[in-house]
Amino acid sequence: MRNYLKHYINGEWVESTGSDVEEVINPATEEVIGKISIGTKEDLDKAVKAAREAFPSFSTMPKDERVKMLERIAEEYEKRKEDIIETITDELGSPLAVSEKVHYMMGYNHFSQAAESLKEFSFIEDMGGHTRVKESVGVSGLITPWNFPTNQTSTKIASAFAAGSPVILKPAEVTPFAAIILAEIFEAAGVPKGVFNLVNGKGDVIGDGISSHPDIDFVSFTGSGRVGKKIMQNASETIKNVALELGGKSPLVVLEDADIEQAARTAVNHIATNTGQVCSAATRILVPNSMKEAFEEAVLKVLPEFSVGNPREDNQVGPLISKKQWDTVQSYIEKGVEEGATLLSGGTGKPEGLDKGYYTKLTVFSDVTNDMTIAEEEIFGPVMSILTYEDLDDAIKISNDTEYGLAGYVVGEDKKALRKVATSIRAGRIKVNDAEADFAAPFGGFKQSGIGREWGDHGIEEYLETKTILGYPS
Ligand code: ADP
């Protein structure tokens, strides 16, 4: 049982000022795996005070010391590898291999990438007529979701530390334990007191408190559009800087000359990875009219390669995070059927033999049109929609006919067509033919997918203000 009834404030584990606790459930077993304290506004105030006090010295800490600090964090993070993997599997339900290759590695890469980006980063530049100085934005409040417990937290924290901004983190209440390990890692790495503060609690108390706190200068949020809008409204009261990474409904354009089986595997992989609980997942698969049947056949052939089941056994897909998420996904599947899409595979209910745990079937719809609910809304579950297109212009039009713009994908051979699709999709990150991840590359959304960019040097920029000095004596 993991009972963490304390917050980490000013370099110490402190009792909550409130008495509320919340149970954390393992979504694969539906069993309680631990408890956390539900923080109060008073706890948040203490954390903000500690961060403010840490600000003058941390924001002026020499760059090479900050680089070393990030490198020490990466080393300490590696030492906790097994614990991180096990914890994420228990709180999120991701298969052990996914917890290692995706969750553990993403956290590690953000800390080591931030150290590398910081080495190259210039905080003062002589521009001829003026000198441009980049300074820490101040104290940052970080609000994170549950779907990537180390990735979402680490990218924000690593960038903030690189920029010299002390932080207050409020992780999602359903996956709090990975963040507790991070606090222990920062302590072991000698992060100065007050630079990292962790307050567990509810979104409408601690999250709301962060976004409206007069002593917090910047809020970085990842989560739903609904909450993102509230955060922006709250932040407007004190003209706080905000970075928002919200949802997506990303297209995958399959070109006519694509390897059909490979394209089908890519498409299934998108709904299988993290049980489809990925904001940048491709969930609208656009195939040429002429390829429709062959593609559907290929998807059906590939699907059995992905087994849904116990994340501690050799399965590729675990459960959804919660009963609430399970219900949401079921209702989207029902809507898909109601609105006339063809259910090619999966459907509502639990996969055979998996009665306990929030498991759902990998579900594929074809004959989907872009105005159906399953093509318009982010489902956050393993549901694929196959749509068809006439020609490339049509594919691009359908791709962009969405309020979102987080990511886009294209697979095929013809370089001209690949370039056309990649440059025409209105989204923050485009991937051509399953290209490898690059942690130096900016990540963030166009349109209602958000504001700002994380990862690498762009991530560091988020936590900086630009100052112009005229007549700086050199
Ligand atoms: P998800 O659907 O991915 O859980 P949410 O947007 O609901 O996304 O939650 C993401 C994070 O935002 C969580 O840490 C949650 O506690 C927090 N949150 C929820 N409501 C609010 C709010 N009103 N203000 C600020 N943060 C909130």
The residue whose CA has the least distance to atom 14 of ligand 1 is 172
Output the pLDDT for position 1: 83
The number of angstroms, rounded, from the C-alpha of 400 to the middle of its chain's C-alpha atoms is: 22
| The predicted structure's pLDDT at residue 9 | 98
Q: Which amino acid is at 472?
A: Y
Cβ atoms 365, 397 nearer than 8 A: no
Ligand 1 contacts CB of residue 230 (under 6 A): yes
pLDDT at 249 > cutoff 80: yes
Contact 213 CB / ligand 1 (< 6 Å): no
**From the candidates 71, 76, 100, 245, which is the catalytic residue?**
245
Pick the atom of ligand 1 nearest to 173's CA.
Answer: 16
Q: What superfamily does domain 2-246+449-469 belong to in CATH?
A: Aldehyde Dehydrogenase; Chain A, domain 1 (3.40.605.10)
Helix axis angle for 177-188 and 63-79, nearest 10°, is 130
CA distance 407 to 283: 11
CA of 174 to the centre of ligand 1 (A): 11
Tell me, using a 6 A CB cutoff, whether residue 144 lines ligand 1. yes
208 lines ligand 1 (CB under 6 A): yes
d(CA 430, CA 421): 9
Please give the model's pTM, rounded to 2 decimal places: 0.98
Ligand 1 test: best mutation among 36, 41, 142, 143, most atoms within 8 Å of CB?
143
Q: How confident is the model at residue 299 (pLDDT cuts 50, 70, 90)?
A: very high
Q: pLDDT tens digit string along 390-443? A: 999 999 999 999 999 999 999 999 999 999 999 999 999 999 999 999 999 999
User: Which residue, judged by its Cα, is nearest atom 2 of ligand 1?
Assistant: 224
DSSP state of 454: B
Q: How far is the CA of 410 from the centre of ligand 1 (A)?
A: 31
Q: How far is CA 12 from CA 198, 202, 206, 377, 408, in A?
A: 10, 21, 19, 42, 43
Report yes or no: 217 and 138 within 8 Å, Cβ to Cβ.
yes
Catalytic annotation on 279? yes
DSSP output for 340-389: T-EEEE--SSPPTT--SSS----EEEES--TTSHHHHS---SSEEEEEEE
Q: Are 231 and 211 contacting, i.e. CB atoms less than 8 angstroms apart?
A: yes
Q: What is the pLDDT of residues 91-130, one digit of tens each?
A: 999 999 999 999 999 999 999 999 999 999 999 999 999 9
CA–CA gap between residue 225 and residue 202 (Å, rounded): 17
User: Is the C-beta atom of 203 inside 6 A of ligand 1?
Assistant: yes
pLDDT score at 357: 98
Q: Which pLDDT value is given to residue 474?
A: 77
Residue 3 is predicted with a pLDDT of 87
Residue to mutate, 144, 168, 227, 406, ligand 1, most ligand atoms under 8 Å from C-beta: 227
Residue 364 pLDDT: 98
Active site residue 245: yes
Mean pLDDT of 293-312: 98
Quote the pLDDT of residue 157. Answer: 98
The stretch 216-236 carries a mean pLDDT of: 98
CA of 27 to the centre of ligand 1 (A): 19
Give pLDDT, residue 2: 86
The domain locations on the chain are 2-246+449-469, 250-438
Alpha carbon of 227 to ligand 1 centroid (Å): 6
Distance CA 201, CA 220 (A): 17
Show the beta-strand stretches assigned E in 309-352: 342-345
465 pLDDT tier (thresholds 50, 70, 90): very high
Class of domain 250-438: alpha beta
Q: Which of 120, 183, 172, 122 is nearest to 149 (CA)?
A: 172
Q: Is the model's pLDDT at 223 over the cut of 80?
A: yes
Q: Is the CB of 172 under 6 A from ligand 1?
A: yes
